[in-house]
Amino acid sequence: MIDHRITISLLLSVALTGCDPKPTADMNKYAKDTHSFSRPNEVAVTHLHLDLNVDFDNKVLSGSAAYTLERNAGNMLVLDVRDLDIRGAKAADGSVLDFRVVKGNDRGDKLEIDLPEGLTELSVDYATSPAAAALFWTPAEQTLDGTAPFLFTQGQAILTRTWIPVQDSPAVRFTYSAKVKTPKGMIALMSAENPTQMNDASEYTFKMEKPIPAYLMALAVGNLQFQSLGARSGVYAEPGMIEKSAYEFADMEQMLLAAEKLYGPYEWGRYDVLVLPPSFPFGGMENPMLTFATPTIIVGDRSLTSLVAHELAHSWSGNLVTNATWDDFWLNEGFTVYFENRIMEALYGAEYAGMLTVLGYQGLLETIADLGEGSADTHLKLNLENRDPDDGMTDIAYEKGFLFLRWLESLTGRERFDSFLKEYFNSNAFQTMTTEDFIIYLDINLLSGLSERPDVESWIYKPGLPANHPVPVSSLFQKVDSVRAQWEQGQIAAADMPASAWSTHEWLHLLKGISDTLGVAKLIALDTAHGFTNSANSEIAAAWYMIAIRADYAPAFPALEAFLMKVGRRKFIKPLYEALAKTEKGTAWGRAVYLKARPRYHSVSVQTLDAILKYPYPEL
């Protein structure tokens, strides 16, 4: 659609001026994004070349970024920067360019570079700060193997500007290439075509030939090994984790095939997954060609791989069709949760996918209750102006977005909905989408076929859930509900639960439904029978620690402390610290642990937890 408009305006300008359309090219091609200072409608970056050296001793990346520009108006390139040391700017012929860093706000500053008439190639010399929010310099002892340090980046939502001067808006796409020099014995990987082996020169080159937005720029450096999983897929992990990782992700190639069968060809060439140290603040991050993943999904039974389906699905929803601004984040995540669930259903059946749906729905109800039924943060379309976008990125985009698409599916039938989605990805590939453009697209391509137009605006612009929303159910979970009730009422012993065939998801459902008022004796019996305190499954352990905190179940606290010291995944540690902060005793204990653990967490988690625990502690 967007292309269409541009074409019309270009044609018009040619017709009106009868000559070169360039001076009047569409000045509104790029959506207004309040989280970027860049002005791509005037000057846009179309290609980036990075030449970087990785210095673990000083925690610094330094080198240069070279840009190719598309110029429509004005004589200034404005890039987003934060905590960067900008050392100089020059044109391709070596002539020096004037630049200045202008103070912006807490979320970033502007780098303004004056451009001589007609200049389309320039470069900037710069270095990052050891405090760069996107970067996490993991010391060797906090990696899985403990043999070498590890660097990873996390760009989404607006952190790429802390390691590259860039037009840091999801609406701006560019291709990139890079050269990265690492210390000996390390390999560098990026969201691009990647090496599979270390080389003696410790110098690696990269190419991303499809245009991507800045938040998908990614780099990881460490002692890593590669193992192939199929024709187009493989896994990178530290040597001590590679076998386990390959076992866990054995179905990846099947996921890729199932995804293509649903919504069209995979456009990115290879699909690999990189297993990161446990400090990684997210479950996964959909960096193109190379998903970054938490090691907490490597549990030995392949039960947490829906995360891979999710990140893979982003190769369409998000990476091909990208939210234009962070207010439209639900277009990335809602579509991805829907797509993820369809991949899981294709591989493991409707009953399995149904469990994941119910777990998601229960999480959604909790999120709505936490935010407040009437909160504007429960709208699908957000207004994050003057806020850190990270603060508004909740379960709403994911699970309300998912439910909205499920509801549309129920109105049109699956077959029509699937062909709609396939065409949506196909015709909007490598473009950005606003919520408003999506509604227009939806009206023309799906809703026009219905006898009555459904009320999509209530879903998108109103709080909470519309009264007619679908309510997911799972017959497998209904069985768990009855077992739990029998145990709570003392009709069966904890050890006699008929659970031998239960998956992780059934255990999670059991734990999430346990009443707060059972008393410690019953928890001891349950823990003794099933060993939750020392569970090697991160999801089960985290759900159990929530119960332990609320019931002040002392035997779990040493294991909880070890968990908090090791795992930096925000989805787990945020609710645990929140639950601790509800009582005076819990606050004191949680704050003591956090003081020790804080240096081990990435800035994304630190920012959230500082607010919960009121760090730095005023009374200490």
What is the closest distance, in whole angstroms, from the C-beta atom of residue 433 to Zn ion in the complex? 16
What is the closest distance, in whole angstroms, from the C-beta atom of residue 378 to Zn ion in the complex? 18
53 bridge partner residues: 62, 181
Nearer to ligand BES, 122 or 158 (CB): 158
**Binding of ligand BES at residue 310 (CB under 6 A)?**
yes
85-91 and 173-181 as β-strands: parallel, antiparallel, unpaired? unpaired
Instruction: Tell me, by CB under 5 A, how many residues bind Zn ion.
Output: 2
Only one residue has tokens 């009437």, namely 374
**Binding of ligand BES at residue 284 (CB under 6 A)?**
yes
Nearer to ligand BES, 177 or 608 (CB): 608
Instruction: Tell me, by CB under 6 A, how many residues bind ligand BES.
Output: 15
Are 563 and 545 a contacting pair, CB within 8 Å? Answer: yes
366 among known catalytic residues: no
Nearer to ligand BES, 236 or 330 (CB): 330
Q: Residue 107: which of ligand BES, Zn ion, none does it interact with, CB under 5 to 8 A by kind?
A: none
Q: Residue 477: which of ligand BES, Zn ion, none does it interact with, CB under 5 to 8 A by kind?
A: none
Distance of alpha carbon 379 from alpha carbon 390, whole angstroms: 15
Tell me phi and psi for residue 339, to 5 degrees.
-65, -45
Q: Residue 156: which of Zn ion, ligand BES, none does it interact with, CB under 5 to 8 A by kind?
A: ligand BES
Catalytic residue, candidates 42, 248, 311, 333? 311
**Binding of ligand BES at residue 514 (CB under 6 A)?**
no
**Binding of ligand BES at residue 359 (CB under 6 A)?**
no
What is the closest distance, in whole angstroms, from the C-beta atom of residue 314 to Zn ion in the complex? 6
Element (H, E) at 189: strand 187-190
SS3 content of the chain, % helix, strand, coil (to 5): 45, 20, 35
What is the closest distance, in whole angstroms, from the C-beta atom of residue 250 to Zn ion in the complex? 22
Are 212 and 176 a contacting pair, CB within 8 Å? Answer: yes
Nearest residue to 103 (alpha-carbon basis) of 164, 170, 37, 42: 37
Are 54 and 221 a contacting pair, CB within 8 Å? Answer: yes
What is the closest distance, in whole angstroms, from the C-beta atom of residue 311 to Zn ion in the complex? 7
43-55 and 85-91 as β-strands: parallel, antiparallel, unpaired? unpaired
Residues 6+ apart with CB under 8 A from 409: 417
What is the closest distance, in whole angstroms, from the C-beta atom of residue 96 to ligand BES in the complex? 37
162 bridge partner residues: none
Preceding peptide of 277 cis, ω within 30°:
no
Nearer to ligand BES, 75 or 362 (CB): 362
Are 145 and 223 a contacting pair, CB within 8 Å? Answer: yes
Identify residues 463-492 at the interface with Zn ion (CB under 5 A).
Answer: none
What is the closest distance, in whole angstroms, from the C-beta atom of residue 395 to ligand BES in the complex? 9
What is the closest distance, in whole angstroms, from the C-beta atom of residue 424 to ligand BES in the complex? 19
Identify residues 533-552 at the interface with ligand BES (CB under 6 A).
Answer: none
**Binding of ligand BES at residue 425 (CB under 6 A)?**
no
Nearest residue to 85 (alpha-carbon basis) of 104, 103, 101: 101
Q: Residue 284: which of ligand BES, Zn ion, none does it interact with, CB under 5 to 8 A by kind?
A: ligand BES
DSSP-derived secondary structure for 336-370 = HHHHHHHHHHHHH-HHHHHHHHHHHHHHHHHHHHH
Contact with ligand BES (CB under 6 A): which of 13, 128, 143, 156?
156
- Sequence letter at residue 143: T
Contact with ligand BES (CB under 6 A): which of 571, 591, 600, 602?
571
From residue 108 to residue 137, what is the string marking binding to Zn ion with x (rule CB under 5 A)?
------------------------------
Nearest residue to 254 (alpha-carbon basis) of 205, 302, 202: 302
Contact with ligand BES (CB under 6 A): which of 198, 224, 274, 307?
307
Q: Which residues of 367-379 are buried (b: 16+ CB within 10 A; e: fewer)?
A: bbeebeeeeebbb
In 106-248, the DSSP E strands lie at 108-114, 121-127, 135-138, 150-153, 173-181, 187-190, 203-213, 219-222, 225-228, 233-237
What is the closest distance, in whole angstroms, from the C-beta atom of residue 568 to ligand BES in the complex? 12
Distance of alpha carbon 614 from alpha carbon 471, whole angstroms: 37
**Binding of ligand BES at residue 266 (CB under 6 A)?**
no
- For the four alpha carbons of 573, 393, 188 and 246, in that order, the dihedral sign comes to positive
54 bridge partner residues: 61
Contact with ligand BES (CB under 6 A): which of 40, 149, 234, 283?
283
Taking the CB of residue 109, how many other CB atoms lie within 10 A of it? 19
What is the closest distance, in whole angstroms, from the C-beta atom of residue 393 to ligand BES in the complex? 5
Catalytic residue, candidates 126, 215, 398, 577? 398
Tell me the two tokens of residue 104.
Answer: 């912006």
**Binding of ligand BES at residue 591 (CB under 6 A)?**
no
**Binding of ligand BES at residue 353 (CB under 6 A)?**
no
**Binding of ligand BES at residue 285 (CB under 6 A)?**
yes
Only one residue has tokens 């999480």, namely 363
Preceding peptide of 521 cis, ω within 30°:
no
Identify residues 315-354 at the interface with Zn ion (CB under 5 A).
Answer: 333, 336
398 among known catalytic residues: yes
**Binding of ligand BES at residue 393 (CB under 6 A)?**
yes
Alpha carbon distances (Å) from 328 to 101, 291, 536? 29, 22, 37
Tell me phi and psi for residue 454, to 5 degrees.
-70, 160
Q: Residue 613: which of ligand BES, Zn ion, none does it interact with, CB under 5 to 8 A by kind?
A: none
- For the four alpha carbons of 365, 366, 368 and 373, in that order, the dihedral sign comes to positive
Which range touches ligand BES (CB under 6 A), out of 8-16, 179-187, 220-228, 279-287?
279-287
Q: Residue 248: which of Zn ion, ligand BES, none does it interact with, CB under 5 to 8 A by kind?
A: none
What angle, 0 to 180 degrees and rounded to 10, lies between the N-to-C axes of helices 350-371 and 504-512? 30
**Binding of ligand BES at residue 55 (CB under 6 A)?**
no
Which range touches ligand BES (CB under 6 A), out of 50-58, 75-83, 308-316, 485-493?
308-316
Contact residues: ligand BES, CB under 6 A: 156-157, 282-286, 307, 310-311, 314, 333, 393, 398, 571
Q: Which residues are catalytic?
A: 311, 398
Contact residues: Zn ion, CB under 5 A: 333, 336
